Amino acid sequence: GLLAGALGEPAESWSARWPATPENKALMQWVGNGAAVAPRMLGSVIERGYAGLGGSPVVAMPAIADSALAALLAGDTADAFVAAPLWSGAPCETGALQRQCDTPAVAASQQAYGNALLPRLLARLFELVDVIGHIGRLVAQVAPAGAGAGPSRADGSGIAQVEAARGRLVHWLRIADGKIADYRILAPTEWNFHPRGALAQGLLSLPVDDRLPQLARLLVDAIDPCVEASVEVTNDA
């Protein structure tokens, strides 16, 4: 119900409109005729000329093998890697835009605007619709589970990658003498808010005028930190 209220129509009919109409045309029709919060938000971004702001040359994160990440998280430079991760010498972006880049409407928006504000917001909207449907399907598959295996005393290490709301989340740990001896978390925020990452480079592309605080806030929220964030603009000394 909340999703339908935000979209201005049921999710099923909203999803059905995109394959039937060329993607950018479908977007303009939807934002032009919609009175709900989502079309008004995207329409405002377009009308104010913000659609192409905040883009950067940072590329989407590729699939990375567990073994490659485990080697980085277990090595002598693991702390430095977690603090400012790079892949092939460059920062990457992870999150809704990375996952939804093959969705036709998002791909068309990216073709027009790159990885700027409008494609990010549109990708998040498509992901929200997808996730609600996916949760429903998962709930329908839930079945009673039997007792799990007992605790193991084996030593060794393990790694897990999962696509979380903000992007790809990685946990790595090492067990020695039956106890956790080392544990590292590589959060999506470390990729997206890297000093040379999507946010930093996107901020550098924004116009420096009285709109800057609002645009910076929009970009931070679109890329999505894991904690509450504040934006402060100070004069350059």
* pLDDT tens column, 128-149: 999 988 888 889 898 888 888 7
Summarised one tens digit per residue, pLDDT across range 55-111 is 999 999 999 999 999 999 998 999 999 999 999 999 999 999 999 999 999 999 999
**Single pTM value for the model:** 0.88
The answer to whether the CB of 46 falls within 8 A of the CB of 31 is yes
Q: Is 8 left (phi over 0), alpha (psi -120 to 50) or beta?
A: left
The predicted structure's pLDDT at residue 234: 85
The two structure tokens encoding residue 210? 């009285």
How many angstroms separate the Cα of 229 from the Cα of each of 125, 185, 220, 226?
21, 20, 8, 9
> What distance in Å separates the CA atoms of residue 81 and residue 131, rounded to the nearest whole number?
30
* Cβ proximity of 163 and 96 under 8 Å: no
